[in-house]
Amino acid sequence: MEAEKVKGFCQVVISSNLRDGMSHLIQSSGLGGLQHNTVLVGWPRSWRQKEDHQTWRNFIELVRETTAGHLALLVAKNVAMFPGNQERFSEGHIDVWWIVHDGGMLMLLPFLLRHHKVWRKCKMRIFTVAQMDDNSIQMKKDLTTFLYHLRITAEVEVVEMHESDISAYTYEKTLVMEQRSQILKQMHLTKNEREREIQSITDESRGSIRRKNPSNTRLRLNVPEEQVGDGEEKPEEEVQLIHDKNATTFSSSSQSPGDEVESAPEKVHLTWTKEKSVAEKNKSKSPVSPEGIKDFFNMKPNQSNVRRMHTAVKLNEVIVKKSQDAKLVLLNMPGPPRNRKGDENYMEFLEVLTEHLDRVLLVRGGGREVITIYS
C-alpha cells in the first residue's frame, strides 16, 4: 500500500490454509459501518498446469463466497499487462460487452476509470448482444437514451449473433476438455509420465476430428485407422445410449474416413466389438492401461457442455473481432455451476471466452448495485 500510495486500513488474518484465510478476510474486512462491497482478484493464470489443482478450486470457492455475501467480484486477467500509475494511454478504447444486465456495475466501472489519468484519453464503447429476431435498431436507441440520462459518453453498437449450428471446432474443444478431466482421474502416474502419455494420446487422436465450416449442418468425424478393423471379422454387439431428445446428439461409429455422420433425434447407436464391451465391464477391476485410456477418445461429450462451449467460442470470436485492439475489455462473468463436478469445465469456459485478449476485467455484480437515472 505504501509503494502504490494507496490509503486505507490494513487487516491481517491468520489462518491454517489459504482458502479459509480468504473466506475470513472477505467476511471481516472493514471498519464499523464502512465495509467493502467489491472483491478484486487475479485470474489463476497457470491453473491448467498445477498438479494439485488447488489454485483454481480456491478461485471458484472465492466466487461462491462473494456471491453468498452479495458482493461484487472483479477478476483481472493478464494482470502483468495492465498499466502502472505512471503510464498514460494517449488513445484507445475501453470496451464494455454488456451481455446481461446485473445492476449497472459494468457501466459504472469504465466511467470511473476514465477519471484516472492513466485511462483519461481512452474512449468508451459499449457492445450489447442481440439475436437475429430482436429489434436491433430499437435496442440501440434505448441504450443510447439510457446512457444519456446517466451522463455517460460512449459509442453504442448492437452486435447480432446468428444461431448457427455447432461447429466441429466446438465439438472437439469440448471433447478434449472432458477427456483431460477423465484421464487425470484414471491415471496414477508421475507428473512427467502423465504429461508424456497425454501428449501422445492427444497427438494420435487429433486426426479423429476434422474442423468444418460452422454453417454446415453435418459434422464429419474420422475414425483412427486402428479402430476401422484389423482385417478380421469380429462378433459385434450393439449398445444403445438414450439421451435427451431435445438436445443435439451426435452419432459415432466405425465408418470409413470419408463417411458423414448425421445426428439422431433420440437414440445414439454405438457399435462396439465384443472385446471392447468386455474391457469396459472389467474397467473398474483392473488398473487403467494406455489402451484403456485411448477408449476415452471414443466418448461423446456432454451435450450441455457442448452448448455452453458453443456460446463461449462464438462470443469470443465476436469479441476478438471487435475489441482485439482495445486497451481494456470488460464483460459479464457468469456464475459457477451448482454441481461442483462441473467446476473444471467452468474454468475452461471462462478461458475460452477471454482468450486472445490482452487485458480483461470480468465483472460479476453482487445484486445490490443500483445505478439509476434519478439522482
30-86 confidence digits (pLDDT tens): 887 888 889 999 998 877 775 657 778 889 899 999 988 889 999 999 888 898 888
Report residue 200 as a C-alpha cell. Answer: 501422445
Checking if the pLDDT of 125 tops 90, the result is yes
Q: Note the pLDDT of residue 205.
A: 47
Which range has the top average pLDDT, 1-10, 46-55, 77-86, 204-213? 77-86
Chain mean pLDDT for the chain: 70
Higher pLDDT, 19 or 230: 19
Q: Note the pLDDT of residue 266.
A: 40
Q: Note the pLDDT of residue 301.
A: 54
C-alpha 98/C-alpha 275 separation (Å) is 53
Question: CA geometry: angle at 78 spanning 320 and 59, to 5°?
Answer: 110
C-alpha 98/C-alpha 103 separation (Å) is 11
303, containing H or E segment: helix 303-323
Instruction: Report the b/e string of 97-118 with b at 16+ CB within 10 A.
Output: bbbeebebbbbbbbbebbeeeb
Neighbours of 333 (CB within 10 A): 23
C-alpha 176/C-alpha 206 separation (Å) is 10
Checking if the pLDDT of 245 tops 90, the result is no
Report residue 315 as a C-alpha cell. Answer: 462470443
- Listed range (1-15, 99-113, 237-251) with the worst mean pLDDT: 237-251
- In angstroms, the Cα distances linking 206 to 87, 219, 223, 305 are 44, 15, 10, 20
181-192 confidence digits (pLDDT tens): 665 555 545 556
One-letter identity of residue 282 = N
Checking if the pLDDT of 309 tops 50, the result is yes
Give the residue extent of every domain in the chain: 168-306
What is the pLDDT confidence band of residue 131, given thresholds at 50, 70 and 90?
A: confident
Report residue 309 as a C-alpha cell. Answer: 462451449
Query: Is there a contact between 107 and 98 (Cβ–Cβ < 8 Å)?
Result: yes
Report residue 357 as a C-alpha cell. Answer: 485478449
Q: Note the pLDDT of residue 285.
A: 46
Query: Is there a contact between 106 and 146 (Cβ–Cβ < 8 Å)?
Result: no
Please give the average per-residue pLDDT across 234-240, as a whole number: 39
Q: Note the pLDDT of residue 176.
A: 62
88-124 confidence digits (pLDDT tens): 898 999 999 988 777 678 888 998 999 999 999 999 9
Neighbours of 126 (CB within 10 A): 23
Q: Note the pLDDT of residue 166.
A: 44
Checking if the pLDDT of 243 tops 80, the result is no
310-348 confidence digits (pLDDT tens): 778 888 888 999 998 999 999 988 888 887 777 878 888
Across the strands, what pairs with 127? 97, 157
What is the pLDDT confidence band of residue 2, given thresholds at 50, 70 and 90?
A: confident
Q: Tell me which residue of 306, 307, 357, 323 sits closest to 98, measured CA to CA.
A: 323
Start-to-end CA distance of the chain, whole Å, equals 33
